Amino acid sequence: MSIAADHPGVSTLVGTPRQVQLRLGKSHADRVLLVTFDHIKPKVFEALAENVTNVVSSLFEILLERHDRESLERLAEVLVPRTVPSPRLLKEAAMLVQARKAVLESGNWLTSAQIAQVAGLSTLNPSAQPNKWKKRGLIFAISHGGVDYFPDYGLDREAGYRPSKALARIIDIFAGHKDGWGMAYWFRSDNSFLGGKRPQDLLAIQPERVIQSAVDEMLEVLHA
């Protein structure tokens, strides 16, 4: 009996019924395709067996390739949006990316653990106190990569790095109109009410002016 293995997943057994039976007894194959021949000349059988072996291996490779390609196409269909995004949507997405990048580069953003460290808070659960401040509207955060980041300009250094009282008033003014990212955009943008300066640069030294600029911002929004 001869054994031809033309593909890692395909083995062709050639021989008498007993030889093949003995070999199958030791096989760990999941499936078996058996073809028998009666009254066939040895030379014809050998030539036929060789051709069948080549055909089976080739077909198996084709089926595997087709299966992989179909799986890849199905995966691509799931990952790619069903509708082609419009140029306007693509432009807005690009603008959003640039805006968020500018915010992240505009100042120092601290994690809960970093705030706990500079403010001397408990390090056993460093996110506890900053999250309480956020829920109470004393400070805001932006979520990036599944992590909350808090603006350092929102912390009062003279008060042991606790949230600035002026920031809490501004958050209250913007409540229902600006989320964390919205407030971050506003704080980093040049403000005409402040003479072209950014609110985040004046919050610590001229808090009342920054609060009034927030009021002015909301008046424009409400009367737009």
CB atoms within 10 A of CB 151: 25
**How many percent of the chain have pLDDT more than 90?**
50
* Per-residue confidence (pLDDT) for residue 202, from 0 to 100: 97
Which of 134, 163, 165, 164 has the alpha carbon at shortest distance from 148?
A: 134
CA 131/CA 69 separation, integer angstroms: 48
Residue type, 201: D
Q: Where are the domains of the chain?
A: 2-79, 87-222
> Which of 16-25, 56-65, 90-99, 177-186 is least confident?
56-65
The answer to whether residue 2 scores a pLDDT higher than 50 is no
The answer to whether residue 150 scores a pLDDT higher than 80 is yes
- The mean of the pLDDT values for the chain is 82
pLDDT tens readout for residues 85-131: 678 888 888 899 899 999 998 878 999 999 999 999 987 888 899 99
